[in-house]
Copies of this chain bind each other. A is one copy, B any other.
């Protein structure tokens, strides 16, 4: 399962030819270099090809399209983050109270999505395909809600809680409406508290 941390090395199809593997690594390294040299917008498919010293067609063969390339790039940091959630120190990792874990999860995810906003945006056409991160987050939130003994349609509730943390929405709030990160954070905490608190319905006496 830690294989997920090594997207540069983990293979594509079951048996990948050595030249193909070499090129895939070269392409990702090139893309990473470009993204920090010219910004996400400057990562042109042709530029990546040139930087990696391969043909343009090769880039498309490996990553389908620009969004796919970006998604592959994202997996770097995304899987590192997943590991923190799964096995890092509390309160994000296991060991803390579920509510604390949930709130820590929100804080962390919020920052991550703001930081990677551009990249996520550029990769988003490729999701639906395999943005593992999204379903991972949904699963985790759902699990924590269960641990908190929240009842209701947990998968949908998880989606609803994650929605305000989406990069698209955060971008609007932070970049356009000029919202403070702390305020967004506080609001999410408030939202979670409202959702999680026990139903007003009196129990079976």
Binding site for B on A (CB under 8 A): 124, 127-128, 134, 152-153, 156-157, 159-160, 163-164, 166, 168-169, 172-173, 175-176, 179, 183-184, 186-188, 190-191, 194-195, 197-200
Q: Which of B153, B163, B187 contacts A183 (CB 8 A)?
A: B153
**A156 near B184: Cβ-Cβ < 8 Å:** yes
Residues of B within 8 A of A152 (CB): 187, 190
**A127 near B172: Cβ-Cβ < 8 Å:** yes
Residues of B within 8 A of A160 (CB): 163-164, 187-188, 191
Residues of B within 8 A of A128 (CB): 172, 175-176
Residues of B within 8 A of A153 (CB): 183, 186-187, 190
**A187 near B127: Cβ-Cβ < 8 Å:** no
Q: Which of B166, B190, B195 contacts A169 (CB 8 A)?
A: B166
Q: Which of B134, B168, B187, B197 contacts A156 (CB 8 A)?
A: B187
Q: Which of B134, B156, B163 contacts A166 (CB 8 A)?
A: B163
